[in-house]
Structure 1
Amino acid sequence: METFLKVVSDIEAAQAAGKKVSPELIAAGAVALARMRRAERKRNREAPERPEPPSPLPYEAAQRELHELRYSVGLTRKEAEELEGGTGASNVGRVEDKIGEVRTQEEELEKVKELKEKLRVLRTTMEAKRRRLHAVEGSMSGWVKTGCKLVAVEKQHKGVWEKKGQSQN
């Protein structure tokens, strides 16, 4: 750049003196200008990333944050439009209320899941007891009650009934 500025000042001095500018001086100026442009392009390529654009206005940032909050809470479009109609303080209160409702719903959902699991366990237990009862009733059908109390005893895949004191197969 210094070379280019020197050549330009030499050309201006020659013109001011009323002399004709030599073609060598013009060529030197063109060469210096080309070198200067190449150096500038090289600096631009090697320059670090440009800084990020300035942050948006605080209002826009607040709007974006409110939109993200609405999305995360799961507000419908109509509810979001209702919220936008109020003042900032009332909007915050409404959004906090909605967050509270969602948390309550999540807690209730957890309770329902726990109750469903307990119900599943009870159904399984009742089904097992029902099957055992039917097995006992089926094995008793061939017996005649003789006045002694029949007591059911389960043994390894054999339904064995004992009268008090004696067993029969």
Structure 2
Amino acid sequence: MKHLVDLLLLGDPRLYETCEPVLESDLPQVAGWVDDLHNVMEEIRAMYQFGRGIAAPQLGIMKRLIYLNSDHSDYTWPMVIINPELVTVSNETDELWDDCMSFPNLLVRVRRHRQLTMTYRDEQWQPHTWVVTDWRLAELIQHEYDHLNGVLCTMRAVDERAFKWRPTPGK
């Protein structure tokens, strides 16, 4: 079982690598990877009071796998997304202060698409197409998807002043 100490932090060269697809033959390993992702997300939530998604490469699992566990009431959580592909993204964008478990005290101002359409496979290897019109979920998916391609939100900063420290929880 992986823990918070296993989380790759900003500067680790693996965070900048493009991940390999999950193969159907990898399915027996997926449940263990998901358990690890869930466990680390829960530890981040307990320590930093944030976390709705985590990508496999953040734990050194260099596969195209995302684990989402949000409080959004319109969906069944948690959700495992295997081999996602962004099919379309909206022209409409918006800015937000993005956070990342791999640098939990840093916020980065980024611009993300407001809507997207994504294809992916679930844990039973069934294909899905998901049209995401909710801004909160669209920006989250784009953040996690970027991780699969070795892109961090620091690389998407809107300008050189788009960084700030997150207030320490409880202070």
Identify the structure with the greater helix proportion. 1
TM tier relative to shorter chain? under 0.3
* Structure with bigger gyration radius: 1
Q: TM-score, normalised by structure 1?
A: 0.19
Identify the structure with the greater strand proportion. 2
Which gives a bigger RCO, structure 1 or 2 (Cα 8 Å, sep 6+)?
A: 2
Q: TM-score, normalised by structure 2?
A: 0.19
